[in-house]
Amino acid sequence: MNGAQSNGGSRQDGIVNDALDEIDLAILRVLQRSGRASNQEIGESVGLSPSAASRRIQALENSGIILGYQAIVDDACLGRGMTVFIRVTLERQSAAALNAFESAVQRFGSISFCHLMAGQYDYLLQIKTEDISDYERLHRQVLSILPGVARLESNFSVRNVIDSGRPNKLTKVS
């Protein structure tokens, strides 16, 4: 198997096999709820000693299942309360055109997310702006100069229904 190992489990192409046990899943659920939980707290939650919990967490990190830790920030408090989703259609879908576009979007910190899509458009971008004037500035100075763009469609979020900071339900895939 080419995937990284964690307590017998492997991760290949984003799919975790069934060797990831219930304790690993319980640890992941605790960390998703509280990434700053101590090994003591995690161990108590899942029925392990702090050192055993620490070893499990290290294995999950080393295997690439845990990618990192981060603070969830309220964008509105930073003056970026407006969320805009932009559907991007490229002039062509050659490898060179995709690479040029992807390289360009990575240089702009104002773009929060960029997903290559299947369907009617090629990419879905998410940006956070202060207001409509700030969006117009970003449209002129960033979005309109991205290479290979044939069409941009912008949609403005009215409100966030599910927060990305909310933990995913972690269960075994059978």
pTM exceeding the 0.85 threshold for the entire prediction: no
Please check whether residue 22 lies inside any domain of the structure: yes
Look at residue 33 and tell me if it is in a domain.
Answer: yes
Query: 15 and 51: one domain?
Result: yes
Q: What single string gives the DSSP state of each residue in 49-96? A: -HHHHHHHHHHHHHTTSS--------GGGGT--EEEEEEEEES---HH
Residue-range definition of the domain harbouring residue 28: 7-62
Q: Verify that 56 and 85 share a domain, yes or no.
A: no
Considering the domain architecture, whether residues 57 and 93 belong to the same structural domain is answered as no
- Judge if 18 and 55 occupy the same domain: yes
In a domain, 2, yes or no: no
- For the segment 110-123, the average pLDDT, to the nearest whole number, is 95
Count of structural domains within the chain: 2
Q: Which helix (H) or strand (E) holds 128?
A: strand 123-129
Does one domain contain both 40 and 104?
no
Please tell me which residue, 112 or 13, carries the higher pLDDT value.
112
Please indicate, yes or no, whether residues 116 and 50 belong to a single structural domain of this protein.
Answer: no
Give phi and psi for 153, each to the nearest 5.
Answer: -125, 120
Decide if 164 is inside a domain.
Answer: no
Distances in Å between the Cα of 148 and the Cα atoms of 90, 93, 94 are 5, 9, 10
Q: Which residues are bridge partners to 85 per DSSP?
A: 126, 155
Q: Is residue 172 part of a domain?
A: no
pLDDT tens digits along 129-156: 999 999 999 999 999 999 999 999 999 9
Residue 167 resides in a domain: no
Q: CB–CB of 105/114 below 8 Å?
A: yes
Question: What is the per-residue DSSP string for 2-49?
Answer: -SEEETTEEEETTEE-TTS-HHHHHHHHHHHH-TT--HHHHHHHHT--
pLDDT tens across 2-48, in order?
333 334 444 444 445 557 899 999 999 999 888 999 999 999 999 99
80's tokens = 């970026």
The pLDDT of residue 40 is: 96
139, part of any domain: yes
Indicate which CATH number applies to the domain containing 56: 1.10.10.10
